[in-house]
Amino acid sequence: MSDPAQLSEITLRVNGEDRRLTIDTRSSLLDVLREQLDLPGSKKGCDHGQCGACTVLLDGRRVNSCLVLAVARDGSEVTTIEGLADGEQLHPVQRAFVEQDGFQCGYCTPGQICSAVGMLSELAAGWPSAATPDLGATPELSEPEISERLSGNICRCGAYPGIVAAVKQAAG
């Protein structure tokens, strides 16, 4: 157990449920989700914010949870892959990933899906990306736009054609 001086109590709203936790102040959000809340969907890939396997939605915005200190997010809302579905009803992005074969080994899939959900919200809000040709216009969901917006999520299997098709389907 950690030194009591390094412990802090926080509350996170995780997948719609308030969770009061005592955490080590050095714990990443990813480690709290996986080790204390038993939510293994977010994967620890690189643990350096380079692969995107740990992507979750934090207050509606996508983040690499391995880079976020949980203690700094007291009171925040977190949505993980486990919280996207509505009971047995898959989220439209989850369903599209299945229908478009947007995964192979599946390790990166939770992060890819959470990132895609966040990206579609950004697109709906009119946020441009580096691939948006006209920053004053509403961004269109082209393949280069999708690829750029999901570029922080790495698929070692190379399932990108299915991932892009899934995002296009979910956005449709």
Tell me: the pLDDT tens digits for 16-27?
999 999 999 999
Identify the pLDDT of residue 66: 98
Q: 1: pLDDT confidence band, cut at 50, 70 and 90?
A: low
Region of 86 on the Ramachandran plot (φ > 0 left; ψ -120 to 50 alpha; else beta): beta
The CATH topology of domain 92-171 is DNA polymerase; domain 1 (1.10.150)
Among 56, 68, 65, 69, which Cα is nearest to 23's? 69
Residue 4 has pLDDT above 80, yes or no: no
In 15-124, DSSP assigns E strands to 17-24, 55-58, 61-64, 77-79
Homologous superfamily (CATH) for 4-83: Beta-grasp domain (3.10.20.30)
Identify the pLDDT of residue 136: 87
Identify the pLDDT of residue 2: 62
- 85 vs 172, which has greater pLDDT? 85
Identify the pLDDT of residue 140: 87
- CA torsion 132→60→93→148, rounded to 10°? 20
Residue 157 has pLDDT above 60, yes or no: yes
- Encode pLDDT of 33-89 as tens digits: 999 999 999 999 999 999 999 999 999 999 999 999 999 999 999 999 999 999 999
Identify the pLDDT of residue 15: 98
Residue 152 has pLDDT above 60, yes or no: yes
Q: SS3 for 77?
A: strand
Domain coordinates in residue numbering, the chain = 4-83, 92-171
- Encode pLDDT of 107-149 as tens digits: 999 999 999 999 999 999 999 999 999 988 888 899 999 999 9
